[in-house]
Chain A
Amino acid sequence: EDKVVQSPLSLVVHEGDTVTLNCSYEVTNFRSLLWYKQEKKAPTFLFMLTSSGIEKKSGRLSSILDKKELSSILNITATQTGDSAIYLCENAGGTSYGKLTFGQGTILTVHP
């Protein structure tokens, strides 16, 4: 069974801190790994990673995939209160092209 595990499950930091969120996966026929930010109801897309070792960057957020270790990290530097959200890791793989597996998420809380 395809599996995606995120850690930590929750994290509390202060503004300005840097955080690293982890995602590890066990999927057959890996295709891509995606990160989403969920603030209220709908997750919003952050990154899609398909190749190992290539960092994707958007402002203070960056992410990288390690296919050898079957994992990915999401880094957020100089955190702000607006970064408070659930960060979800999703894996596209398995025998069905459309079957996508989410991790349980990391709840990030950034205090002023």
Chain B
Amino acid sequence: GAGVSQTPSNKVTEKGKYVELRCDPISGHTALYWYRQSLGQGPEFLIYFQGTGAADDSGLPNDRFFAVRPEGSVSTLKIQRTERGDSAVYLCASSALAGPSYNEQFFGPGTRLTVL
């Protein structure tokens, strides 16, 4: 596709349930980022992948959050035992390179997660 896509666009779940959020980056982009954005706040860094590996996962709030990118393309953010505080828009972005040649990120439309 032409841009970054995320599915689902909206997800409503009950407290304690497990959810998976998917991100399809721009083809060929090696770097992929996950952010969480609450209302009125800037995006908060969660994790970034360089290829298949998580190069920095220091933003994941706790061990209920996990992300994978097994083939270096599509990534899935997994949240176990969801809590109401997890409600937010989860944004995914990709860029052609990371590191010293860093350039702009392209963002997906986000997934709005609501935990009841």
Contact = CB atoms under 8 A, between A and B. Distances in A.
Interface of A: 4, 6, 31-32, 34, 36, 40-45, 48, 88, 92, 96-105
Interface residues of B, number: 30
Given A6-B42, A44-B107, 8 more contacts: A4-B42, A41-B109, A42-B110, A97-B55, A97-B100, A98-B33, A100-B33, A100-B48
B66 interface: no
Q: Describe A's contact surface by its main secondary structure.
A: strand
B110 A105 contact: no
Given A88-B43, A96-B58, A102-B43, A42 B104 contact: no
Pick the 9 closest A-B CB pairs, nearest first. A98-B48, A102-B42, A42-B107, A96-B56, A45-B104, A41-B110, A97-B99, A41-B109, A98-B98
Given A42-B109, A44-B107, A45-B106, A97 B43 contact: no
13 contacts: A32-B102, A36-B107, A41-B89, A43-B43, A43-B107, A48-B103, A48-B104, A88-B43, A96-B56, A97-B50, A97-B98, A98-B48, A98-B99
